[in-house]
Amino acid sequence: MSYFTALVRNEWMKITSKRQLPYYLIFLLVVLAAAIGFQLWFQSEGGSEVGSVGFTSVIFEITSVFTGIFSIVIASQIITDEFKDGTIKQLLIRPASRTTILMSKLVTIMLVVLFVNLAMMLVTALAAFILFDSSAGGIHLLWEGTILPFFLTLPNELFYIFVAFTAAVLTRSLGLSISIAVILNSLAGMLIMFIFDKPWYKYTVFPHLDWNSYYKGEPPIEGITFGFSFGMYALYMLALLLVSILVFKKRDIQ
């Protein structure tokens, strides 16, 4: 377990050493500063004031879209860079199985996603509660309006991360693996419109990616339960994971 932790730490250091994570956090802070500046200017011109909870929810929803794309890029790059830079050989001579190495990369990606989202949520909430009206709600509304929805929609983000990760293992192409995940994410809504009324639609992954509907008491398909959605989601995620592991273990590294 300690060696696995060392592998995860090494992957984290690779991401930060390439300035990807620091630069992305700076980008998010610039977006936040611009949004705060615009809102303060809007209020000074006689516009309606915004509540701290409402501001936090809107900004976090916007930055979450950016983070979703960023996480897809990281999930693709963490694999393809090893082949492009020729470091995959040095990585595989370590006293760890290929499965362990692959899992350390996947765990690192998920830690990065959680860190970025939670850090941005915290910074945005602190700034909003300091600068804007906090009388309209406190921690309870922040939990209901921002924190809980984030965790309930996290499965959607993780699914496309797994898609990008698996595509990177299969193709070893950064552009292709990013494109597959982004295009699938972009076309998901259109695809759902065509297959929504099919009897087998509930066996696809799409209606099971947003668990927020169950919290609202409105299941995505009438008659299905959260247990069914969780099972179908886990099945698709496990399938992607197994494909990644099997291909990575059998791949001939020249």
Q: Which residue has the higher pLDDT, 137 or 237?
A: 237
Domain ranges of the chain: 2-250
Could you tell me which residues are beta bridge partners of residue 162? none
Q: Place 31 in a pLDDT band, splitting at 50, 70 and 90.
A: very high
Q: Which residues pair with 148 in a beta bridge?
A: none
The answer to whether 109 and 161 are in contact (CB under 8 A) is yes
pLDDT tier for residue 254 given thresholds of 50, 70 and 90? low
Q: What is the pLDDT of residues 112-132, one digit of tens each?
A: 999 999 999 999 988 888 888
86-120 CB burial, b ≥16 within 10 A, e <16: eebeebeeeebeeeebbbbbbbbbbebbeebbeeb
Q: At what angle are helices 98-131 and 148-171 packed, to 10 degrees?
A: 150
Structure confidence at residue 206 (pLDDT):
93
Mean predicted lDDT score pLDDT of the chain: 88
pLDDT value at position 48? 77
Q: Which residue has the higher pLDDT, 19 or 33?
A: 33
* Closest to 111 measured CA to CA, from 235, 205, 4: 4
Whether residue 159 is predicted with pLDDT greater than 70 in this model: the reply is yes
Round to whole Å and give the CA distance between 116 and 119. 5
Cα R_g (the chain), whole angstroms: 20
Q: What values do phi and psi take at 222, rounded to 5? A: -60, 130
| Tokens (6 digits) for 84 | 């492009």
pLDDT interval class at 86 (50, 70, 90): confident
